[in-house]
């Protein structure tokens, strides 16, 4: 992949930290970002469009993608498969556009193995009591589920060391500003710039 290619931004963090909310806000902040489209074996819901919301696949098609290493990561939830198609990501990056992949921590670590040149962002809560309040605030979780999610969050926060950047999600707008700064800095890295200048020197 050439140095004019886009960045793959992998945004991850514990359940309840606000990944979806931050990504929604990022769409207004940085409309040029392309969001990775997942593949799934679940049936389309009303209004969902193939290739826009998801790439809808049969179980056979999905298993074929796993076998042919066509997925950057995949998982099975409640009897359905979900995964990130490599082709969509690579073609978008090759066109020079940046891609955002919003994903659970385990999936992000799978992506890191297959695509280490990505930029990995860990979205962190300001503190654990705030995370607890956000999970409770959803109003959809049982006491046991809340406890399980908090235990999982502690494990996932330990995995922060495997990421490139930590973005605290205290105020959504501030988190978006931080992510925008990271994208700018990544594009300014010497490895992404130097080949352009070497080409200029040759042409002089």
**pLDDT tens for residues 176-195?**
999 999 999 999 999 888 98
Residue with tokens 């605030």: 137
pLDDT tens per residue across span 8-19: 999 999 988 999
In this model, does residue 41 exceed pLDDT 50? yes
Task: Give the per-residue pLDDT at 135.
Answer: 86
In this model, does residue 2 exceed pLDDT 70? no
Backbone angles phi, psi at 13, to 5 degrees: 165, 175
DSSP code, position 44: P
| 1: confidence class by pLDDT, cuts 50, 70, 90 | very low
Mean pLDDT of 147-154: 89
Which residues is 200 bridged to in the sheet? none
- Within 10 Å of residue 46's Cβ, how many Cβ atoms? 4
In this prediction the pTM is 0.87
Residue 130 burial by Cβ neighbours in a 10 Å radius (0-12, 13-18, 19+): middle
Residue 49 burial by Cβ neighbours in a 10 Å radius (0-12, 13-18, 19+): exposed
Residue 6 burial by Cβ neighbours in a 10 Å radius (0-12, 13-18, 19+): buried
In this model, does residue 86 exceed pLDDT 80? yes
Domains, the chain, with CATH or none:
8-36+98-203 (3.40.50.300)
Closest by CA position to 15, among listed 121, 153, 143, 154: 153
């Amino acid at each position: 992949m050439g140095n004019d290619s886009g960045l793959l931004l992998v945004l991850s963090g514990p359940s309840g930290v606000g990944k979806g909310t931050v990504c929604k806000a990022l769409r207004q902040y940085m409309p040029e970002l392309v969001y990775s489209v997942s593949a799934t074996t679940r049936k389309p819901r009303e209004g969902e469009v193939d290739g826009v919301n998801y790439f809808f696949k049969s179980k056979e098609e999905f298993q074929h993608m796993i076998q042919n290493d066509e997925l950057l990561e995949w998982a099975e939830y409640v009897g359905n498969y979900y995964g990130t198609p490599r082709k969509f990501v690579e073609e978008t990056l090759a066109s020079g556009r940046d891609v955002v992949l919003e994903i659970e921590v385990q999936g992000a670590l799978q992506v890191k193995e297959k695509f280490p040149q990505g930029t990995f962002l860990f979205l962190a809560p300001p503190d654990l009591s705030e995370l607890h309040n956000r999970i409770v605030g959803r109003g959809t979780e049982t006491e046991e589920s809340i406890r399980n999610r908090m235990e999982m969050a502690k494990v996932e926060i330990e995995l922060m060391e495997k990421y490139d950047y930590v973005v605290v999600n205290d105020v959504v707008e501030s988190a978006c500003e931080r992510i925008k700064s990271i994208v700018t800095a990544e594009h300014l890295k010497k490895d992404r710039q130097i080949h352009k200048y070497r080409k200029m020197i040759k042409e002089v």
